[in-house]
């Protein structure tokens, strides 16, 4: 029997007893159980979905102390952050409960018949949305609650009427199992099928790939690396019947700071930015990895301010030893590609020191290695000679979850061009603050052009995340009994 | 210089002088010109977009006589159908003009700041949508107006703020060039850049593939065969930066007719269905290719009625000699795969005779060859022993633009299961009438699971077609000047 081992993030020691890896047969069984649960769940009213989601939120909160302690051992993210993340996860579950209860998944477009010949005349049409089917959900390492077993993908899929099979992340196996135990208790207490939420664990083609290939799986949701996400997306596309695969992948999140704002608020902004780069040891998909500065004395001063502020940051241990060593490799590559280090210290075996380097726009544009995401507390200052060159930098980035524009308060040709350049490559454009921190709200868009996501028309955070799992269907001349269901699938 | 030749559909004779094939350099130039037009067009107000779309509709109508005559020679579809299709095309252009003028592309979700810490507190967010960029639009053979140069893809892309490069279909080259000439006149009269709508013509990787690979192209839209669409989709996905590719591909459009309705209305329904199978010589993506009947005397009678009604149909010449010979190959394959012919006559060199065959559900499910689309006046009756077996037939079809359910007027376990099975595989479910004829309206959904489309969450007909070319972006703490643009891109 294959087994899996959890580790303590701060020391690298084995943590707890080995866990059994899911067998290929068990993967198939989880997908089949999810499919068996699909008929009743997809036809369930909003009140039933809301009751489940709220009970799951409450279960997390009730077990808060034990969950946070376990998560802290496995991830080193610290109790403050982890309690906040648990709050956010419960908030998301309740928000999607409200969305389901309000009837959002059942909303219809009614289009009464118009008499007469086409094109103006047409039969009675009603457009509704049907749930896709069981969703394969791949947990992320860096959000052990909010992008894991009961994270936003699971919450939005359940609210949409889709069962979920979670692929647990190897970085927090014990936590995943404990949360999954809570899920099973809640399902039982609500007389819902155990297979409505399944979980598998293990690596490679025995588990994750097999799940994506399973004929009962109707969609994939993933948060993680570009390489891992691209490989799973290729599997989803290569199926005899391809399925949508919603992957949030790598992102380097440019921050463009114009000289005028740096001249007046440089020290404050440097401190804020340094905090964002080092926050959570830089292990955020929205971590600001590129700082674009125009050639100006205020920019020169800001480079000094940022270097000083970042030197004062003390990042905690990384999530896994693999990420820790990948960080060193990443910053070495960046230096080798011509980025001039401003801050480059060795760090400890578990916790890195922040890395900051600088490069000219022309080099940044010419060398793809400088545009690769370095997961961890690293950022690269890119110096541009003009707004036009700053736009070339954004264009070279090509796709990002976020772009931040500091100093765009006035309407002029430069700011309009920068807004245009930013919206062309990002899912979210910020005009104040830092990109880390993704609000769970109605207007959020977490997903931008490739490589930041595989489906940039969709979002994995915020109310619209639900839409990923619903497909439109038009009913033509539908009978009265079907219309009386008001968008609830049969 | 490579040249292209148009042919008369009814006789196969060369028609008109040879036309120059687009060179690779000209493809690049068309994409570059579209990209150059993107900045101003994406920032244009709804009134500007509406004025262009309405002028294009008027230009088609003004040149109606010449256009229909040319289209009739090249397609053999006949003046009644072609006049109706021109009406529909003008209607679509005006409908998207209205949509742009109403401000639909500029609609925003406003999400004011909420004070306090996260998760409940959040910054001010506004969700809007930005146009993707130049769209590569691949014309269809079977709708020389409505899915060609000025068809729904072009109308919806222009309304969304995206330039278009049309790949003209080889089946109606002269018509495409004449329509493109009208487009250029209108663009000039409105002082819009000629590159806002480009056109290329020719075959293979010199032209269509090169266009999809061009870095300035931001999306693809295609209506045609599964093979052609899948190949272009693979190109779109294999780009260094993949782009969305909206393909409407093959579909066999099952019609499920329950015995009770056949017992009372069999003759009438047989006549209607025969007309739908033979309409336009069966050259519709919504042509009913599979008729699912339960084992019942009323079904037996309906088979006779349908055979008789279909034998009375006189399909006209097919669009091209290639399609004509592919039809013969298709029906031969179907017979070879075990379908028992009920109607199988030779036809003429240009016009086929309708083909009708019958097979058991078990054979249909077991043999993929029986589920391949035969483009032309062909349909296959599948006999099922039970509703459960009829559901297995739908499941084997897997993905279709439409499913038609006749006799589902009452709410019972069978009709609910059939509605569930139909919505699981189709974009549109009809409860009366026939699937041919796709209304251009608010609730339309033309696109279903693979292989009927590459992006089943989108539609290529109806108001929602616009959404294919807009990507959501969240603005966080946006400055007043940007909010004052009310969703209009910079």
Angle of CA points A454, A458, A459, to nearest 5°: 100
Maximum separation of any 2 CA atoms in chain B, in Å: 77
Q: Which of A410, A297, A285, A278 is nearest to A356 (CA)?
A: A278
Does the CB of A134 have a partner CB in chain B at under 8 Å?
A: no
Residue B1's pLDDT band, with cuts at 50, 70 and 90, is confident
**Interface contact flag, B420 A39, Cβ < 8 Å:** yes
Q: Cα dist. A98→A157, B103, B126 in Å?
A: 14, 29, 21
Query: For residue A270, is pLDDT > 80?
Result: yes
Contact (CB, 8 A) for A191 and A21: no
**Interface contact flag, B241 A399, Cβ < 8 Å:** yes
The number of beta carbons lying within 10 Å of the beta carbon of residue B112 is: 11
Per CB-CB distance under 8 Å, the chain B contacts of A482 are 408, 411, 419, 431
Query: A454-464, pLDDT tens digit by residue?
Result: 999 999 999 99
Q: How far apart are CA B100 and CA B85, in angstroms?
A: 22
**Interface contact flag, B444 A125, Cβ < 8 Å:** yes
Does the CB of B464 have a partner CB in chain A at under 8 Å?
A: yes
Query: A106-162, pLDDT tens digit by residue?
Result: 999 999 999 999 999 999 999 999 999 999 999 999 999 999 999 999 999 999 999
Comparing B202-211, B316-325, B326-335, the range with the smallest average pLDDT is: B202-211
Contact (CB, 8 A) for B186 and B49: no
Does the CB of B478 have a partner CB in chain A at under 8 Å?
A: yes
Query: B452-484, pLDDT tens digit by residue?
Result: 999 999 999 999 999 999 999 999 999 999 999
Angle of CA points B234, B237, B240, to nearest 5°: 130
- Percent of chain A predicted with pLDDT > 90: 99
Work out the average pLDDT over B248-261.
96
Q: How far apart are CA B397 and CA B381, in angstroms?
A: 14
Backbone angles phi, psi at A44, to 5 degrees: -80, 145
Contact (CB, 8 A) for B310 and B343: yes
Q: How far is A11 from chain B (nearest CA, A)?
A: 31
Q: Cα dist. B28→B88, B181, B215 in Å?
A: 32, 20, 9
Backbone angles phi, psi at B157, to 5 degrees: -65, -45
Backbone angles phi, psi at A420, to 5 degrees: -60, -45
Residue A203's pLDDT band, with cuts at 50, 70 and 90, is confident
Contact (CB, 8 A) for A446 and A427: yes
Q: How far apart are CA A339 and CA A374, in angstroms?
A: 13
Contact (CB, 8 A) for A458 and A153: no
Cis bond upstream, residue B119 (ω within 30): yes
**Which residue(s) pair with A4 in the sheet?**
A19
Q: How far apart are CA B110 and CA B115, in angstroms?
A: 16
Where does B296-354 show beta strands of DSSP type E? 340-343
Tokens standing for A22?
């899911």
Query: B76-128, pLDDT tens digit by residue?
Result: 999 999 999 999 999 999 999 999 999 999 999 999 999 999 999 999 999 99
Q: How far is A466 from chain B (nearest CA, A)?
A: 13
Per CB-CB distance under 8 Å, the chain B contacts of A87 are 119
DSSP B26-70: HHHHHHHHHHHHHHHHHT--HHHHHHHHHHHHHHHHHTHHHHHHH
Chain B residue nearest residue A87, CA to CA:
B119
Q: How far apart are CA A393 and CA A256, in angstroms?
A: 10
Query: For residue B398, is pLDDT > 80?
Result: yes
Per CB-CB distance under 8 Å, the chain A contacts of B450 are 241-242
Query: A349-390, pLDDT tens digit by residue?
Result: 999 999 999 999 999 999 999 999 999 999 999 999 999 999
Q: How far apart are CA A286 and CA A251, in angstroms?
A: 7
Alpha-carbon torsion B315, B316, B318, B324, what sign? positive
Q: Which of B103, B471, B120 is nearest to A442 (CA)?
A: B120
Name B342's Cβ contacts closer than 8 Å, sequence gap at least 6: B303, B307, B356, B357, B358, B381
Q: How far is A346 from chain B (nearest CA, A)?
A: 34
> What pLDDT is attached to residue A461?
98
Q: Cα dist. B417→A129, A436, A444 in Å?
A: 17, 47, 37
> What pLDDT is attached to residue A441?
96
Contact (CB, 8 A) for A341 and A335: yes
Does the CB of B305 have a partner CB in chain A at under 8 Å?
A: no
Query: B283-299, pLDDT tens digit by residue?
Result: 999 999 999 999 999 99
Q: How far apart are CA B118 and CA A26, in angstroms?
A: 38
**Interface contact flag, B476 A432, Cβ < 8 Å:** yes
For chain B, the 3-state helix, strand and coil shares in percent, each to the nearest 5, are: 45, 20, 35
ipTM, two decimals, is: 0.97
Q: How far apart are CA B54 and CA B99, in angstroms?
A: 12
Q: How far apart are CA A429 and CA A400, in angstroms?
A: 10
| Binding-face residues of B in 73-112 toward A, CB within 8 A | 84, 87-88, 91-92, 109-111
Domains of chain B: 3-249+453-483 (3.40.605.10), 254-430 (3.40.309.10)
**Which residue(s) pair with A475 in the sheet?**
A126, B429
Decide: helix, strand or coil at residue B358.
strand
- Catalytic machinery residues of B: 248, 285
Query: A37-74, pLDDT tens digit by residue?
Result: 999 999 999 999 999 999 999 999 999 999 999 999 99
Q: How far apart are CA B476 and CA A310, in angstroms?
A: 25
Does the CB of A113 have a partner CB in chain B at under 8 Å?
A: no
Mutate: best of B94, B472, B480, B489, partner A, most A CBs <10 A: B472
Q: Which of A275, A277, A276, A282 is nearest to A318 (CA)?
A: A282
Contact (CB, 8 A) for B453 and B427: yes
Q: How far apart are CA B407 and CA B262, in angstroms?
A: 8
Mutate: best of B106, B133, B473, B483, partner A, most A CBs <10 A: B473
Query: For residue A204, is pLDDT > 80?
Result: no
Query: For residue B205, is pLDDT > 90?
Result: no
> What pLDDT is attached to residue A223?
96
Of B125, B419, B479, the CB nearest to A490: B419
**Interface contact flag, A449 B471, Cβ < 8 Å:** yes
pTM over 0.90: yes
- Catalytic machinery residues of A: 248, 285
Does the CB of A260 have a partner CB in chain B at under 8 Å?
A: no
Contact (CB, 8 A) for A122 and A471: no
> What pLDDT is attached to residue B380?
98
**Interface contact flag, A431 B479, Cβ < 8 Å:** yes
Q: How far is A334 from chain B (nearest CA, A)?
A: 21
Tokens standing for A370?
């400088």
Which stretch of DSSP H or E encloses residue A342?
strand A340-343
Per CB-CB distance under 8 Å, the chain B contacts of A109 are 442-443
Query: For residue B365, is pLDDT > 90?
Result: yes
Does the CB of B481 have a partner CB in chain A at under 8 Å?
A: yes
Q: Which residues of B190-204 are buried (b: 16+ CB within 10 A; e: fewer)?
A: eebbebbbbbbbbee
Of B443, B459, B476, the CB nearest to A430: B476
Q: Which of A488, A440, A438, A470 is nearest to A95 (CA)?
A: A440
Tokens standing for B219?
């999306």
Does the CB of A427 have a partner CB in chain B at under 8 Å?
A: yes
Q: How far apart are CA A133 and CA B225, in angstroms?
A: 27
For chain A, give the mean pLDDT: 97
Q: How far apart are CA B145 and CA B1, in angstroms?
A: 28
Query: For residue A432, is pLDDT > 90?
Result: yes
**Interface contact flag, A244 B457, Cβ < 8 Å:** yes
Work out the average pLDDT over A167-188.
98
Per CB-CB distance under 8 Å, the chain A contacts of B116 are none
Q: Which residue has the tokens 């077609």?
A: B465
The number of beta carbons lying within 10 Å of the beta carbon of residue B362 is: 15
Chain A residue nearest residue B91, CA to CA:
A119
Contact (CB, 8 A) for B287 and B436: yes
Cis bond upstream, residue A119 (ω within 30): yes
Contact (CB, 8 A) for A260 and A298: yes
> What pLDDT is attached to residue A205?
78
Contact (CB, 8 A) for B159 and B96: yes
Q: Which of B280, B161, B247 is nearest to B446 (CA)?
A: B247
**Interface contact flag, B423 A473, Cβ < 8 Å:** yes
Q: How far is A310 from chain B (nearest CA, A)?
A: 25
Of B84, B459, B473, the CB nearest to A428: B473
Q: How far apart are CA A410 and CA B51, in angstroms?
A: 31
Decide: helix, strand or coil at residue A356.
strand
Alpha-carbon torsion B435, B441, B447, B452, what sign? positive
Query: B156-189, pLDDT tens digit by residue?
Result: 999 999 999 999 999 999 999 999 999 999 999 9
Decide: helix, strand or coil at residue A323.
helix
Q: Cα dist. A470→A41, A489, B459 in Å?
A: 13, 11, 14
Query: B443-453, pLDDT tens digit by residue?
Result: 999 999 999 99
CB pairs under 8 A between A and B: 215
Per CB-CB distance under 8 Å, the chain A contacts of B445 are 127, 472-474
Tokens standing for A362?
């022309």
Q: How far apart are CA A125 and CA B462, in angstroms?
A: 11
Q: How far apart are CA B232 and CA B72, in angstroms?
A: 29
**Interface contact flag, A111 B441, Cβ < 8 Å:** yes
Chain A residue nearest residue B89, CA to CA:
A119
**Interface contact flag, B419 A88, Cβ < 8 Å:** no
């Amino acid at each position: 029997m294959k087994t899996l081992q959890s580790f303590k993030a701060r020391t690298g020691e084995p943590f707890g007893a080995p866990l059994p890896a899911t067998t290929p047969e068990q993967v198939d069984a989880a997908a089949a159980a999810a499919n068996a649960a699909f008929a009743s769940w997809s036809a369930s009213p909003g009140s039933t979905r809301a009751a489940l989601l709220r009970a799951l939120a409450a279960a997390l909160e009730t077990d808060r102390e034990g969950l946070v302690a376990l998560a802290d051992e496995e991830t080193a993210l610290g109790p403050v952050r982890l309690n906040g993340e648990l709050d956010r996860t419960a908030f998301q579950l309740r928000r999607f409960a409200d969305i389901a209860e309000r009837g959002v998944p059942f909303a219809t477009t009614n289009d009464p018949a118009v008499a007469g010949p086409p094109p103006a005349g047409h039969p009675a049409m009603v457009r509704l949305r049907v749930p896709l089917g069981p969703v394969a959900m791949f947990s992320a390492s860096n959000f052990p609650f909010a992008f894991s077993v009961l994270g936003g993908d699971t919450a939005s899929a359940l609210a949409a009427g889709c069962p979920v099979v979670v692929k647990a992340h190897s970085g927090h196996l014990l936590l995943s199992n404990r949360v999954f135990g809570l899920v099973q208790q809640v399902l039982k207490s609500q007389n819902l099928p155990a297979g409505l939420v399944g979980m598998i664990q293990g690596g490679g083609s025995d588990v994750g790939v097999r799940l994506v290939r399973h004929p009962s799986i109707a969609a994939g949701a993933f948060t993680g690396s570009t390489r891992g996400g691209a490989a799973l997306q290729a599997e989803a596309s290569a199926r005899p019947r391809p399925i949508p695969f919603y992957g949030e992948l790598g992102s380097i999140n440019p921050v463009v700071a114009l000289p005028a704002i740096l001249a007046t608020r440089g020290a404050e902004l440097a401190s804020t930015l340094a905090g964002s780069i080092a926050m959570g040891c830089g292990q955020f998909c929205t971590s600001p990895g590129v700082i674009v500065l125009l050639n100006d004395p205020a920019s020169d001063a800001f480079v000094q301010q940022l270097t000083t502020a970042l030197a004062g940051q003390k990042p905690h241990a990384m999530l896994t030893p693999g990420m820790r060593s990948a960080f060193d490799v990443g910053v070495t590559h960046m230096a080798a590609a011509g980025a001039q280090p401003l801050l480059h210290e060795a760090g400890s075996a578990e916790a890195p020191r922040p890395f900051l380097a600088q490069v000219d726009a022309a080099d940044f544009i010419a060398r793809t290695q400088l545009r690769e995401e370095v997961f961890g507390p690293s950022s690269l200052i890119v110096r541009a000679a003009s707004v036009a060159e700053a736009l070339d930098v954004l264009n070279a980035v090509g796709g990002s979850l976020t772009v931040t524009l500091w100093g765009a308060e006035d309407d002029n040709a430069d700011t309009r061009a920068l807004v245009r350049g930013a919206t062309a490559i990002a899912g979210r454009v910020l005009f104040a603050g830092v990109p880390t921190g993704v609000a769970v709200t109605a207007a959020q868009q977490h997903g931008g052009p490739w490589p930041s996501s595989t489906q940039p028309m969709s979002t994995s955070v915020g109310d619209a995340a639900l839409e990923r799992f619903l497909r439109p269907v038009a009913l033509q001349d539908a009978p009265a009994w079907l219309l009386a269901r008001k968008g609830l699938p049969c």
